[in-house]
Amino acid sequence: MAERRVSVTSEVGLHARPAATFVQTAAKASYDVTIAKAGGTPVSAKSILSVLALDVRQGESIVISAEGEGADALLDELAQIAAAP
């Protein structure tokens, strides 16, 4: 399983528009994609409610995981979204 650790830099954290973009990108995958706060329980990265419920704030670290064909490219794209200012 591939994973990326990312520090969220957006002032709003992973909420509203960044969260929607993140979820829309994850939903393109035909395999499971998860997100968790560092040390936390993973949730589906394809669910806007699950992502918002994590309450990821600026400066917090997340772990994004996926397994399947093209997972590395997808994780790179998700990491860029999460790390965007």
Tens digit of each residue's pLDDT (9 = 90 or more) over 16-32: 899 999 999 999 999 99
Q: What Å distances lie between residue 50 and 13, 53, 69, 70, 72, CA to CA? A: 15, 5, 24, 23, 22
State how many domains the chain has: 1
Q: What is the pLDDT of residue 85?
A: 87
Active-site residues, by number, are 15
Print the domain residue range for 14.
2-83
Tens digit of each residue's pLDDT (9 = 90 or more) over 1-18: 899 999 999 999 999 899
Tens digit of each residue's pLDDT (9 = 90 or more) over 55-84: 999 999 999 999 999 999 999 999 999 999
Query: What is the domain-level CATH number for residue 23?
Result: 3.30.1340.10
Average pLDDT, the chain: 96
pTM score: 0.93
